[in-house]
């Protein structure tokens, strides 16, 4: 079978290789991959700037979808032909993330999905939403589940509430989708007016161009008549975190997901205490949440924004497109 391997730090070390086609063992399934999507984490791993070392050679990418070609012994809940996706953390079935879970993720600690075939434990596999294409479903295991966990894994989002999403990346795009599904209002921020218009078409009601309004938390309060938003999906972190604390209402929730603005900053803890803010660190989610999210999406008509689909032979170009940051929505590789 054909697969891509990272053999070192840098995209020049992304190499197409031939590997033995795997055979499913007891409790495992063989999946013929059909599509894989990229997350910013994948780019960091490929460049060698991820938060910890990885071991080479490594098949990259955590997110993908395909169909089961064969099942191993003692697999009863899945069958040949089922359309499935793998869980970001293959052995994180329920509960809270821990040290052991954190170090067993696809495309980082374990071989990922940028391959014609992969083998996973049957308990690590979830059926994709009804009616979804492989390309659409390939965008779900990381960015989508992170957004779902942010809005429904802690203080659950309620109809009529307001969600602030920072930026227009995959997590923010999916947070907008889930907020609209849940009957909530979305406030979106970005330095790009073009991307803000795309967020509006995607469902965001209020837009803040942070290149013109750097003190965007003040605009948030104006839009909410001084109350603040119910949820903040914060993919920036760093020095932006205090702005998120100011933008959220008393008793609201800030979900901390990314570090695009850095990993350090002076946190105004009086805002957390004085406003009784719930702060949650989000690291994707577990298999049960992935199943819940897939069921919810299968019952609706919402779909992700996909910016581009690259053929398998152009995987490196897909990484470069992500690195250019000109896209809106997900970048997908058809396997």
Locate CATH 3.40.50.720 in the chain: 146-281
* Residue 97's pLDDT band (cuts 50, 70, 90): confident
Domain 146-281 has CATH 3.90.180.10: no
Residue 259, pLDDT score: 56
* H helices present in 48-169, as ranges: 99-102, 134-137, 145-152
Cα–chain center distance at 134: 16
Q: Which of 96, 103, 101 is nearest to 154 (CA)?
A: 96
Q: For the chain, what is the mean pLDDT? A: 93
Residue 21, pLDDT score: 97
Residue 223, pLDDT score: 97
Asked if the model's pLDDT at residue 65 lies above 80, the reply is: yes
Q: Report the C-alpha gap between 247 and 270 in whole angstroms.
A: 14
Q: Is the pTM of this model over 0.85?
A: yes
Locate CATH 3.90.180.10 in the chain: 2-139+304-334
Residue 88, pLDDT score: 96
CB 289 within 8 A of CB 148: yes
Residue 265, pLDDT score: 66
Residue 261, pLDDT score: 47
For 53, residues 6+ apart whose C-beta sits below 8 A from its C-beta are none
Residue 268, pLDDT score: 86
CB 280 within 8 A of CB 257: no
Q: What is the DSSP letter of 254?
A: E
Residue scoring higher pLDDT (237 or 323): 323
- The CA dihedral of 282, 285, 289, 294, to the nearest 10 degrees, is 100
Per-residue model confidence as pLDDT tens digits over 104-138: 899 998 999 999 999 999 999 999 999 999 999 99
* CATH of the domain spanning 2-139+304-334: 3.90.180.10
Per-residue model confidence as pLDDT tens digits over 227-286: 999 999 999 877 789 999 999 999 999 999 975 545 556 788 999 999 999 999 999 999
CB 217 within 8 A of CB 196: no
User: Under DSSP, is residue 186 helix (H, G, I), strand (E, B) or coil?
Assistant: strand
Residue showing tokens 């999403």:
165
User: Under DSSP, is residue 230 helix (H, G, I), strand (E, B) or coil?
Assistant: strand
Per-residue model confidence as pLDDT tens digits over 142-189: 999 999 999 999 899 999 999 999 999 999 999 999 999 999 999 999
* Residue 300's pLDDT band (cuts 50, 70, 90): confident
């Amino acid at each position: 079978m054909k697969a891509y391997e990272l053999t070192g730090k840098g995209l020049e070390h992304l190499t197409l290789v031939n590997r033995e086609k795997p055979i499913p063992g007891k409790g495992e399934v063989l999946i013929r991959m059909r599509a894989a999507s990229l997350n910013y984490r994948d780019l960091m791993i490929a460049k060698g700037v991820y938060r910890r070392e990885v071991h080479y050679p490594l098949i990259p990418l955590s997110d993908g979808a395909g169909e089961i070609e064969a099942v191993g012994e003692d697999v009863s809940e899945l069958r040949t032909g089922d359309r499935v996706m793998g869980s970001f953390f293959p052995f994180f079935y329920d509960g809270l993330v821990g040290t052991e879970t954190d170090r067993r993720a696809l495309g980082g600690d374990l071989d990922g999905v940028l391959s014609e075939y992969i083998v996973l434990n049957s308990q690590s596999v979830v059926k994709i939403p009804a009616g979804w294409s492989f390309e659409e479903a390939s965008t779900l295991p990381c960015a989508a589940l992170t957004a779902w966990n942010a809005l429904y894994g802690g203080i659950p989002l309620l109809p009529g509430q307001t969600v602030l999403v920072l930026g227009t990346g995959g997590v923010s795009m999916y947070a907008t989708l889930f907020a609209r599904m849940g009957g909530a209002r979305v406030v979106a921020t970005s330095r790009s007016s073009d991307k803000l218009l795309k967020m509006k078409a995607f469902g965001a009601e209020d837009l803040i161009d942070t290149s013109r309004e750097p003190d965007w938390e003040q605009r948030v309060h104006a839009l909410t008549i001084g109350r603040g938003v119910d949820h903040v999906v914060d993919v920036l972190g760093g020095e932006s975190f205090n702005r998120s604390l100011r933008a959220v209402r008393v008793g609201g929730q800030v979900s901390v997901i990314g570090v695009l603005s850095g990993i350090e900053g002076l946190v105004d803890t009086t805002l957390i205490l004085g406003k009784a803010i719930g702060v949650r660190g989000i690291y994707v989610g577990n298999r049960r949440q992935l199943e819940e999210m897939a069921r919810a999406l299968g019952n609706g008509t919402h779909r992700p924004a996909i910016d581009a689909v690259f053929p398998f032979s152009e995987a490196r170009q897909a990484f470069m497109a992500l690195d250019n940051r000109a896209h809106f929505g997900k970048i997908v590789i058809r396997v």
